[in-house]
Amino acid sequence: MDFSKLQQNAIDVATQFGVKIVAAILFWLLGRWLIGMVGNLLQNAMQKQKVDATVMRYLGSVVTVTLNVLLIIGILGYFGIQTTTFAALLAAAGVAIGMAWSGLLANFAAGAFLIVLRPYKVGDIVTVAGVTGTVKEIGLFTTSIDTADNILTMIGNNKIFSDTIQNYSSNPFRRVDLRCQLSGAADHAAAMRLLREKVAQVPNVLSTPAVEVDILEGNLLGPLLAVRPYCAPEHYGQVFFDTNRVIRETMLEAGFPPPMPGQMVFMQQP
């Protein structure tokens, strides 16, 4: 047995394989750099065209994933692996994974529908799947929402798409629903006129539609007033708290009696 020849063959094979390994690493690094450049160019082009931020992020994710898959297939082809065979294996694996991960595929499909139908976009205040907050990102599989107490919440797109979606930012204004309890001895007509005047002066309350103040119901305490100012969606929180404060201060300054439960007691001598 010629050990020197075997040693030389081993060195040749190792050298050839090592060169391919180094070349594959270089291809991977170069490919990743090119993919990053393509992503940046695509983002800049969409920004110049003033494409919606939601669509930009979604398309960016799809393009990046697709190019990475193509890069991996190209590197495997460089090593002599038949890409057609690999594609067939990938398709078969995709079917198996699809059956096992049907939920992920459903989320992916729902994400595509959310992008096309646009029930909401990034920056909108929504209630979806029982969660209320500001939409931060619509991803391939999940939607990220920042709640009012600043908690990042991620919800599966399929759960959102199959449930009720409330978009508070879609319409130009919102109604703020508040209540004011009056005493049974209070002049409700005067209280209603005064509240309309004072609430209309709250910052960011719209003049059209006008502030609504009316009797909602009567109870043991007296008339319960519905106080309903209108404002732009982004001012809802500020108008809500300011109007509550104005209701309280207006009732005190005007001297309206505080609502207290009253009972009539009948005494009968034996």
Each residue's pLDDT tens digit, 6-64 = 566 666 666 666 677 777 788 888 888 888 888 788 777 777 766 666 666 767 777 77
pLDDT at 125: 92
Question: How many structural domains is the chain composed of?
Answer: 3
Average pLDDT for 142-150: 92
At 80 the pLDDT is 65
Among residues 23, 45, 42, 34, the alpha carbon closest in space to that of 68 is found at: 34
CATH number at residue 95: 1.10.287.1260
- The pLDDT of residue 249 is above 70: yes
Q: Are residues 153 and 181 in the same domain?
A: no
The per-residue pLDDT for 177 is 95
pLDDT at 180 over 70: yes
pLDDT in tens, 25-41: 888 888 888 888 887 88
pLDDT at 91 exceeding the cut of 70 = no
Instruction: Kindly state whether residue 202 falls inside one of the protein's structural domains.
Output: yes
Provide the residue range defining the domain that includes 93.
Answer: 8-100
Q: Is residue 114 part of a domain?
A: no
pLDDT tens digit string along 233-243? Answer: 999 999 999 99
State the Cα–Cα distance between residues 197 and 66, nearest whole angstrom: 60
Q: What is the pLDDT of residues 212-241, one digit of tens each?
A: 999 999 888 889 999 999 999 999 999 999
Q: Are residues 178 and 238 in the same domain?
A: yes
